Amino acid sequence: MYTLYAKGILFDQIKLQEYISAYGVLAPIVLILIYILFSMFPIVPSTAAAIISVMVFGPVMGFVYSYIATVLGSIINFTISKRYGKKIVLKIIGEEKYDKYFVKYGSNPKYTYIFAFLIFIPFAPDDILSYFTGLTEMSYKKFIVIILLCKPFGAFLFSLGGVGYFSFVSGF
C-alpha cells in the first residue's frame, strides 16, 4: 500500500488502472488484494476500487471481482476486530468514528437488522461497520450470511454507476 502511495498510484485512477492491467492474467488477484487493502485501511473509500474494477474488467467481471473483494475484506475486518478487540479498532478507525457508530448502535438489540440494512445500501461504510460488528456478539456464520446476501446489491449498483460514469465521460 505504501509503494502504491509513494508512486502516486493509490490516488490516481488512471495510474491504478494501468498498474492493475499490467499484471495480465493475475490482474484480478491484484485488484482483489488492493481492494482488500482499501477495506482494511479505510483511508481511500473502497468504492474507488469498485469503479476501477469496472474500468479494467467491464461491468460483469468488475462486479464479480468487486463482490469477491468486498466479502473477503469484510470478513478480514470482522476477524481482526473479533481477535484483537476494541484497541485495534480504535487505532484503525479512531475514537470519533467508534463513538459515532458503535456506541450509538452496537448495543442495540436490533443491531443485526441495522447492520444488514446498512450493508444492503450502497454508500454505507461497510469496512468500518465490519470492524464494529466484530466487537459485538454476532457470530461468524451470521455475519458471513449477511455479507453474502446483502452486499451484492451495493456492488451491483457501483458497477452500474461505473458503467454510467464512463459512458457519460466517453460521450464528450
- Residues 160 and 2: their CA atoms lie apart, in Å, by 30
pTM: 0.79
pLDDT digits (tens, 9 = 90+) for 153-162: 776 766 665 5
Average pLDDT over residues 74-96: 91
pLDDT digits (tens, 9 = 90+) for 138-148: 999 999 999 99
Task: Please answer whether residues 30 and 23 qualify as being in contact, where contact means their C-beta atoms are separated by less than 8 angstroms.
Answer: yes
Which pLDDT score, from 0 to 100, does residue 1 have?
61
Which pLDDT score, from 0 to 100, does residue 82 have?
95
pLDDT digits (tens, 9 = 90+) for 5-59: 778 776 676 787 788 888 989 999 988 888 888 777 766 666 667 777 877 788 8
Res 169 pLDDT > 60 = no
Task: Please answer whether residues 32 and 69 qualify as being in contact, where contact means their C-beta atoms are separated by less than 8 angstroms.
Answer: yes
pLDDT, mean over the chain? 81
Which pLDDT score, from 0 to 100, does residue 116 have?
93
Domains identified in the chain, total number: 1
Which pLDDT score, from 0 to 100, does residue 43 have?
62
Top-confidence residue, 152 or 43: 152
Res 64 pLDDT > 60 = yes
Report the percent of the chain where pLDDT is more than 70: 81
Top-confidence residue, 1 or 127: 127
Containing structural domain, residue 125: 2-170
Q: Picking from 29-33, 60-64, 121-125, which range would have the lowest pLDDT averaged per residue?
A: 121-125
Which pLDDT score, from 0 to 100, does residue 168 have?
43
